[in-house]
Structure 1
Amino acid sequence: MRRPTLEGRSILVVEDDPLILMDIALAFEATGAAMTMTNTLKHALLLVEHDGLSGAILDHALGDGDSSVLCSRLGERGIPFMIYSGYATVGGACKDAMHIGKPAPEGALVAAMEGLIAGGTSLPTCDLSPRNRT
């Protein structure tokens, strides 16, 4: 059983693929984090303003736009975030964020979020997808 390292933390997840959203929820299930999930940019723009938000996981390409505006707002608020995307690179306000390539091994997002919250800053790009592991 995983130790609840994110106990009491509030994590926003913005992902438009329902299966990936479910995988993220399962990965974080035993962490003790409160997960708020949405599949649209429009709804995410409202959720990003909530007080107490500890971190965010963002898909870059959403059905109603890309997450650049979310990256900007999270950065302004000092909330750590990462990009979880199938795109090899992302630009704009998201270019300096931690980037984990889809699909990633179970637990990779949890470990990355733990690191972001502990450090309070975004980390360099890393691609943990199976296609790039040796």
Structure 2
Amino acid sequence: MKQLNGLTVGTILLLEDEPFIALDLEEILSEAGFTQIRTIVSCAEAESWLQEGDPMLAIVDPRLQDGMCSGVVRTLVERKVPFIVYSGDVETVSEQEPAFAFGIWLSKPSPPGDIIQAIKTTLLGRL
């Protein structure tokens, strides 16, 4: 794990199926010094990766190629992995899966500074 501004940072799990949004987030994260990023585009792939992977933090688009990420988010909550819900559909998502309420909500699109601040807040909340 690496230190960044006094925070120990491991892998950030990025769940995003829109290629341009994923690339934008990867660039924002890299420029901020977060270099261990695992981008995944489907719930099934995320659930499989989580069997072995241990993210420090997750950024979650609630709806991926194969549907709502309810199982993934429940796993994150069970494992006490902090996460950011990056979505433009707050009300519908939280009604469909209560586990999303455990994440920090960030509306799409958000400025890079807001994204980095949400990550820092989320990581500090884990300590």
TM-score by length of 2: 0.83
The alignment of Structure 1 onto Structure 2 pairs a total of residues equal to 119
Query: Which structure shows the bigger proportion of residues in helix conformation?
Result: 2
In 1, Cα distance between equivalents of 2:80 and 2:117:
20
47-56 or 17-26: bigger deviation? 47-56
- Partner-residue secondary structure (3-state), 1:95: helix
Unaligned residue ranges in structure 1 (runs of 5+) = 122-134
Aligned partners of 2:77 and 2:102 also within 8 Å:
no
Q: What 5-or-longer segments of structure 2 have no aligned partner? A: none
Runs of 4+ in 1 over 4 A off after TM superposition: none
Alignment check: 8 A CA contact 1:7 1:33 kept: no
Identity of aligned residues (%): 27
TM score, norm. by length of structure 1: 0.79
Q: Map Cα deviations across residues 53-79 of structure 1 (whole Å, 9 max, x no partner).
A: 201000011120111111100011111
Specify the alignment match of 1:105 in structure 2. 111
Q: Say whether the 8 Å CA contact 2:16–2:41 is kept in structure 1.
A: yes
Q: For residue 115 of structure 2, what is the amino acid of its counterpart?
A: L
Partner of 1:126: none
Structure 1 or 2: larger strand share? 2
Q: Is the 8 A contact 1:12 1:48 kept in 2?
A: no
Give the SS at the match of 2:59: strand
Match of 2:29 in 1: 28
2:102 is paired with a residue whose SS is coil
- Corresponding residue for 1:71? 73
Q: 1:114 to 1:66 in 2, by over 3 A?
A: same
RMSD across aligned C-alpha pairs, in angstroms?
Answer: 2.0
